[in-house]
């Protein structure tokens, strides 16, 4: 017990909760009843009460922490070791094989050679762990005492995000995107999927469950292009996404449910967080490959005794002392990225023989060989054709393309305000190509006459409509040609190419987290028996959260810190909006394109004139003929009760 809390020793010694905290409460299993034994908040009871500072059971001021991977998950772990674990920053060391920090949250380049961003992040207001951290990180441009969160709110509160051209076709014409277009049976299939237990969905794919009419609907076009789902991806992950974003379903048609940063993800998130950590004394050691962990595994547990690294071509083992900790980011979605230019393709073809052979996957594979508790990495890295896609970053001077972009944008892209409001998807593209222009400038150093646009495609194995090649086989200029064709400006292609720099990125594992999986394929954050090792990132198991988000990275980091230090603090489960009757009703209305659903007329009559009248949105149709009989009978019943 710390001397700082000795005055509470009587309470601690009498408490059965002390050092027995469930650091990851599960809202999908908890019956939320108050009782004398229930001293902590319910599993998904978010709010300021959860902002307490954790009290370590002992001092860790001499502990060293080695964090493998300097992406957002690793940086978040460092933040929580300092904030809640009270470990000095100078005791925390990052080890990363890359030559730059930030992991998959990248953003680099210049206007002369072209900017590059391999991907972007669609942000949600319910990312409780992300905002918990960034409300403490000093802002990028605002002065003290403002935070990154303050800056984010200032931008998005005053510049609403939405799209006026979410879908286009017929060479640049805006397509009606006002409806999901789901048949009744497909709506029912979604409801049934939400009701299914997670353990019943092991190794199932999306196309195993949903019908062709669902897979051809506007809803699935919105969903798959927004989140990068393929039909062969995990049905379980799709289900978790539906729970996670149930509150946002009605805003997915026009992206009004999203909030975006002012700049790219590296300058918005990595730069201020790295600065905060470095000022605390944290060390970032790059160009250091972690090959394996030397572990002692016996009846007492699994303890890391050393970290086997490769530095400047030499194998060097870093020994660990008692009370030291290791945090490992299990692989990376942007591992083995290949790059192309205007005149070169990123890759000549998809080479399956290299699947999972890179250094980033070997560490996880070496861990998995030691014990089944470390999961099965081969489930995620063995089929590049099903986990890859390609993106391209366009650095644009004024051209015919920029003029067309202005037509499709909510505001003039040069205004600094919301431009396309998210991706624009070309529905009749063989590649299923999408592109977006976020707020400009997208980089702090970007000249005023330059726009940065991001392009990606899901259907990698198809020939283009105009360029008869797959996208990975295309040079940057050929990708521009295919895009210009779909925008109806191919007759001005020379002008577009002359004024556009293309930097393409082929990522073999970018959606590998979505590959079908079963229980045990992904390790827990603190695998069973581990005493000083935590696993973080996109390839570890949490109770209810999803992958492919910054939020899940921060969540896994926070769980690792709280669990390893056994802090008297919990990480709340995902935001409980999926249980809110208002959002359930709203989702039902939205999925049915705001036509009346069965029983809605009766529900409106019950709620009319009551405190709860507002929970249903106004329908396009006030009622349907199929309900008229029931509504009439209910009205008679009401009159009869009034008579009594």
Residues 6+ apart with CB under 8 A from 203: 516, 517, 518
What does the chain come to in residues?
644
Q: From CA 587, how far away is CA 190, in angstroms rounded?
A: 11
Q: From CA 307, how far away is CA 323, in angstroms rounded?
A: 15
Nearest CA-CA partner of 152 in 293, 275, 265, 276: 265
Record the tokens describing residue 631, joined without a space.
């509504």
Q: Of 24, 66, 79, 122, which one is the catalytic site residue? A: 122
For residue 463, how far is the Cα from the chain centroid? 29
Alpha helical stretches, state H, 385-528: 400-408, 476-486, 493-498
What kind and span of H or E run contains 157?
A: helix 148-158
Residues 6+ apart with CB under 8 A from 157: none
Q: Is 128 designated active site? A: no
For residue 177, how far is the Cα from the chain centroid? 24
Query: What are the backbone angles phi and psi of residue 548, rounded to the nearest 5°?
Result: 70, 25
Q: From CA 641, how far away is CA 644, in angstroms rounded?
A: 5
Cis peptide before 644 (omega within 30 of 0): no
Report CA Rg, the chain. Answer: 26
| DSSP for 326-364, written as a single string | EEEE---TTTT-EEE-SSSBS-SS--GGGTT-SHHHHHH
Query: What are the backbone angles phi and psi of residue 318, rounded to the nearest 5°?
Result: -100, 115
> For residue 270, what is the DSSP state?
I
Using CB atoms within 10 A of its CB, is residue 354 exposed (0-12), middle (13-18) or buried (19+)?
A: exposed
> For residue 532, what is the DSSP state?
S
Q: From CA 630, how far away is CA 602, in angstroms rounded?
A: 7
Sign of CA dihedral 198, 374, 95, 24: positive
Residues 6+ apart with CB under 8 A from 103: 69, 70, 71, 72, 73, 74, 329, 332, 334
Q: Is 162 designated active site? A: no
> For residue 277, what is the DSSP state?
H
Alpha helical stretches, state H, 338-475: 359-370, 378-381, 400-408
Record the tokens describing residue 69, joined without a space.
């991977």
Q: From CA 2, how far away is CA 637, in angstroms rounded?
A: 67
> CB–CB of 569/21 below 8 Å?
yes
Q: From CA 487, how far away is CA 571, in angstroms rounded?
A: 46
Q: From CA 619, how far away is CA 622, in angstroms rounded?
A: 6
| DSSP for 281-326, written as a single string | T-EEE-SEEEEEEEEEEETTEEEEEEEEEEETTEEEEEE--TT-EE
Q: Of 241, 263, 266, 509, which one is the catalytic site residue? A: 241
| DSSP for 69-108, written as a single string | --SHHHHHHHHHHHHTT---GGGEEEE-SSSSSSTT---E
Instruction: Give the three-state DSSP class for 278.
Output: helix
The set of catalytic residues is 122, 241
């Amino acid at each position: 017990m710390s001397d700082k809390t000795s005055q509470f020793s009587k309470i601690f010694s009498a408490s059965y909760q002390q050092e027995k905290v469930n650091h990851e409460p599960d809202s999908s299993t908890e019956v939320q009843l108050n009782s004398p034994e229930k001293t902590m908040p319910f599993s998904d009871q978010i709010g300021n009460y959860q902002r307490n500072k954790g009290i370590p059971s002992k001092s860790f001021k001499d502990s060293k922490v080695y964090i493998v991977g300097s992406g957002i998950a690793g940086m978040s772990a460092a933040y929580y070791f300092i904030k809640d674990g009270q470990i000095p920053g100078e005791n925390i060391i990052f080890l990363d094989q890359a030559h730059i920090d930030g992991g998959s949250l990248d953003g680099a380049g210049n206007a002369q050679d072209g900017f590059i961003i391999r991907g972007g992040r669609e942000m949600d207001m319910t990312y409780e762990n992300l905002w918990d951290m960034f409300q403490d990180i000093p802002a990028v441009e605002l002065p003290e005492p403002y935070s990154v969160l303050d800056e984010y709110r200032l931008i998005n509160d005053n510049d609403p995000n939405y799209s006026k051209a979410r879908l286009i076709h017929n060479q640049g014409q805006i397509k009606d995107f006002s409806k999901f277009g789901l048949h009744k049976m497909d709506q029912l299939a979604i409801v049934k999927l939400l009701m299914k237990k997670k353990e019943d969905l092991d190794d199932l794919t999306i196309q195993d469950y949903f019908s062709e009419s669902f897979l051809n609907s506007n809803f699935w076009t919105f969903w798959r292009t927004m989140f990068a789902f393929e039909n062969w991806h995990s049905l379980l992950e799709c289900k978790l996404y539906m729970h996670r974003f149930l509150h946002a379903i009605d805003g997915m048609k026009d992206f009004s449910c999203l909030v975006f940063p002012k700049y790219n993800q590296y300058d918005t998130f990595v730069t201020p967080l790295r600065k905060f950590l470095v000022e605390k004394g944290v060390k970032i050691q790059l160009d250091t490959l972690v090959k394996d962990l030397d572990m002692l595994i016996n009846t007492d547990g699994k303890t890391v005794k050393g970290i086997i690294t490769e530095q400047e071509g030499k194998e060097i083992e870093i020994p660990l002392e008692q009370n030291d900790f290791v945090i490992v980011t299990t692989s990376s979605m942007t591992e083995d990225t290949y790059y192309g230019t205007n005149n070169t393709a990123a890759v000549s073809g998809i080479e399956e023989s290299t699947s999972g052979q890179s250094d980033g996957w070997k560490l996880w594979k070496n861990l998995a060989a030691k014990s089944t508790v470390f999961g099965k990495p081969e489930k995620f890295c063995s089929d590049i054709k099903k986990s890859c896609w390609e993106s391209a970053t366009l650095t644009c001077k004024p051209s015919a393309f920029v003029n067309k972009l202005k037509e499709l944008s909510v505001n003039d892209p040069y205004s600094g305000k919301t431009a396309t409001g998210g991706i624009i998807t070309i529905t009749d593209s063989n590649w299923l190509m999408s592109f977006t222009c976020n707020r400009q400038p997208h980089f702090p150093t970007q000249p005023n006459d330059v726009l940065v646009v991001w392009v990606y495609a899901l259907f990698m194995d198809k020939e283009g409509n105009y360029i008869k090649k797959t996208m990975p086989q295309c040079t940057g200029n050929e990708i521009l040609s295919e895009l210009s064709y779909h925008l109806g400006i191919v007759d001005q292609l020379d002008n577009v190419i002359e004024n556009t720099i293309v930097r393409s990125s082929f990522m073999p594992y970018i959606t590998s987290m979505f590959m079908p999986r079963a229980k045990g394929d992904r390790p827990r954050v603190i695998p069973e028996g581990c005493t000083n090792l935590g696993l973080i990132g996109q390839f570890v198991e949490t109770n209810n959260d999803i992958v492919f988000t910054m939020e899940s990275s921060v969540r896994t980091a926070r769980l690792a810190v709280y669990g390893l230090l056994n802090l008297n603090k919990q990480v709340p489960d995902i935001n409980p909006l999926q249980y809110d009757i208002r959002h359930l009703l709203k989702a039902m209305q939205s999925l049915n394109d705001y036509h009346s659903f069965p029983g809605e007329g009766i529900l409106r009559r019950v709620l009319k004139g009551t405190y709860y009248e507002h929970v249903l949105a106004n329908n396009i149709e006030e009622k349907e003929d199929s309900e008229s009989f029931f509504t009439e009978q209910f009205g008679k019943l009401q009159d009869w009760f009034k008579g009594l």
